[in-house]
């Protein structure tokens, strides 16, 4: 049994009949905080007290519980925040309050209630203009959790709010200019959530009008490179690979509208940089770290689609992405041969799983290499043909019929001369 002293030190003491739903949290503890929020005259003094900050942070932690969120909604906490936020100038409290609302909006009821408070929602979205990274992180989380919680019929309301707050331009500014790792990761996740929910067919025109701009792809590429290259050592492998997957998908989403050249004509280098970075990462993972990753099959399919939309091969040096493709190809070939001899460098991988991976990889990989050979400059074509040598036929064999024919015609004279020189 706790002593009186122990009970006094407990920031959230719950007694019988004083718990919120099925949690162990105290109703009385929460109600005391809400009363302080409701008294604006004394609130400015309260926020100078360390004990009040501790209590608010405890409430923030509590809002991961659905029952706590419903209890707060029952007591109109969003209305209290609506009145309190405009008089609070301390960034730390703004961060906490926005964070609490973000947690609450993981519940459908809270997200719906916030949407009904359009002036308050706009006030929150205006924080996208702050230069405080911690506030921005919580705002981006709030937007992402809300979009994933609401009904699709409510998406147009959010789109209009984004437009009123100038949200897209400020989001792109963050992606292009920030070096704060957690802010960039959160902003990329936020952009991905917006793409997922607001780029649905019924909202596609509004999404295009608000979010598909020249800055979109440039900003996305800049943030992608900052995380996967400049700050790679500060990120976990899971973080890097998550950013790779969503960035490549967002690139495809942005390019999938009609006439993308009208908007992104000067962004080919950005597209090529993203593709090259992705392939170099997975080349190192396969060739050096001896790890297979089934996501790579889908990623290369995605890259093939992008390359069909944006003709980057015409201006790309082979080392931009072709050499990485070929390195992965040769690694698959050599490892397959070693595997057949009973020696497996991939000790933790099931043999059947590995064979499926190789089988699924080769066709999209050959299509990507052949697409490059079809469109690249004559000078670059000669370089890559010399590089792949006798493996040309094996690579060509797995490509689509149209690409295979185009590459065969384009390389016929060169390969004939090579054969004649060898025979002589």
Is 202 within a domain? no
Query: Rounded mean pLDDT of 363-377?
Result: 94
Asked whether the predicted pLDDT for residue 342 surpasses 60, the reply is no
> Residue 338: which pLDDT band, with cuts at 50, 70 and 90?
low
Asked whether the predicted pLDDT for residue 9 surpasses 50, the reply is no
| Separation between Cα atoms, residue 394 and residue 358, nearest integer Å | 14
**What would the pLDDT profile of 169-198 be if each residue is shown by its tens digit?**
999 999 999 999 999 999 999 999 999 999
Is 43 within a domain? yes
Asked whether the predicted pLDDT for residue 126 surpasses 70, the reply is yes
Query: Rounded mean pLDDT of 302-320?
Result: 93
Residues contacting 171, CB < 8 A, separation 6+ = 128, 187, 190, 191, 219
Number of domains in the chain: 1
Is 409 within a domain? no
Is 109 within a domain? yes
Alpha-carbon torsion angle 55, 57, 58, 60, nearest 10: 130
Query: Rounded mean pLDDT of 29-50?
Result: 92
Residues contacting 392, CB < 8 A, separation 6+ = 385, 411, 415
Is 121 within a domain? yes
Check: CB of residue 46 under 8 Å from CB of residue 36: yes
In this structure, of 10-14, 133-137, 236-240, 333-337, the range with the lowest mean pLDDT score is 10-14
Check: CB of residue 370 under 8 Å from CB of residue 399: yes
Query: Rounded mean pLDDT of 123-142?
Result: 98
Is 122 within a domain? yes
pLDDT the model gives residue 419: 54
Is 115 within a domain? yes
Residue 383 phi, psi dihedral angles, 5° rounding: -65, -45
pTM across the whole model: 0.89
Is 2 within a domain? yes
Query: Rounded mean pLDDT of 313-333?
Result: 93
Q: Which residues pair with 19 in a beta bridge?
A: 26
Asked whether the predicted pLDDT for residue 7 surpasses 50, the reply is no
CATH assignment of the domain containing 124: 1.25.10.10
Asked whether the predicted pLDDT for residue 3 surpasses 50, the reply is no
Q: What is the mean pLDDT of the chain?
A: 89
pLDDT the model gives residue 418: 53
> Residue 355: which pLDDT band, with cuts at 50, 70 and 90?
confident
> Residue 202: which pLDDT band, with cuts at 50, 70 and 90?
confident
| Separation between Cα atoms, residue 34 and residue 38, nearest integer Å | 6
> Residue 242: which pLDDT band, with cuts at 50, 70 and 90?
very high
Asked whether the predicted pLDDT for residue 344 surpasses 90, the reply is no
Residue 151 phi, psi dihedral angles, 5° rounding: -75, 150
Residue 19 phi, psi dihedral angles, 5° rounding: -105, 155
pLDDT the model gives residue 416: 62
Highest mean pLDDT among 14-18, 225-229, 285-289, 353-357: 225-229
| Separation between Cα atoms, residue 305 and residue 283, nearest integer Å | 20
| Separation between Cα atoms, residue 97 and residue 60, nearest integer Å | 8
Q: Which residue range is the domain that position 104 belongs to? A: 1-165
**What would the pLDDT profile of 387-423 be if each residue is shown by its tens digit?**
999 899 999 998 888 888 999 998 887 766 555 554 5
Sign of the dihedral through C-alpha 204, 210, 214, 215: negative
């Amino acid at each position: 049994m706790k002593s009186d002293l122990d009970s006094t030190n407990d920031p959230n003491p719950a007694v019988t009949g004083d718990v919120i739903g099925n949690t162990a949290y105290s109703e009385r503890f929460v109600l005391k905080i809400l009363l302080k929020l409701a008294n604006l005259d004394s609130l400015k003094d309260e926020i100078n007290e360390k004990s009040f900050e501790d209590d608010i942070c405890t409430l923030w932690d509590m809002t991961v519980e659905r029952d706590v969120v419903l209890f707060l909604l029952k007591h109109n906490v969003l209305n209290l925040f609506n009145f309190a936020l405009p008089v609070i100038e301390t960034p730390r409290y703004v961060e906490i309050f926005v964070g609490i609302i973000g947690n609450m909006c993981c519940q459908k009821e809270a997200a719906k209630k916030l949407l009904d408070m359009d002036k308050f929602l706009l006030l929150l979205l205006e924080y996208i203009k702050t230069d405080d990274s911690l506030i921005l992180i919580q705002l981006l989380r709030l937007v992402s959790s809300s979009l994933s919680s609401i009904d699709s019929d409510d998406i147009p309301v959010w789109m209009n709010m984004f437009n009123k707050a100038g949200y897209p331009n400020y989001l792109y500014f963050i992606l292009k200019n920030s070096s704060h790792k957690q802010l960039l990761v959160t902003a990329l996740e936020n952009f991905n959530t917006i793409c997922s929910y607001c780029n649905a067919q019924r909202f596609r025109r509004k999404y295009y009008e608000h979010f598909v701009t020249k800055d979109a792809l440039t900003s996305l590429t800049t943030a992608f490179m900052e995380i996967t290259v400049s700050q790679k050592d500060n990120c976990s492998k899971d973080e890097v690979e998550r950013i790779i997957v969503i960035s490549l998908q967002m690139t495809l989403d942005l390019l999938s509208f009609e006439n993308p050249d009208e908007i992104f004509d000067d962004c080919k280098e950005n597209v090529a940089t993203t593709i090259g970075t992705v392939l170099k990462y997975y080349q190192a993972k396969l060739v050096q770290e001896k790890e297979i990753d089934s996501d790579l099959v889908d990623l290369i399919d995605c890259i093939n689609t992008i390359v069909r939309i944006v003709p980057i091969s015409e201006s790309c040096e082979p080392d931009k992405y072709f050499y990485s493709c070929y390195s992965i190809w040769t690694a698959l070939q050599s490892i397959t041969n070693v595997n057949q001899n009973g020696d497996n460098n991939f000790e933790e991988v099931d043999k059947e799983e590995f064979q499926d991976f190789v089988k699924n990889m080769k066709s999209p990989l050959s299509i990507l290499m052949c697409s490059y050979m079809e469109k690249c400059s004559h000078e670059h074509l000669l370089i890559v043909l010399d590089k792949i040598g006798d493996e040309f036929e094996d690579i060509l064999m797995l490509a689509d019929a149209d690409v295979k024919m185009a590459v065969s015609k384009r390389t016929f004279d060169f390969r004939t001369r090579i054969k004649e020189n060898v025979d002589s």
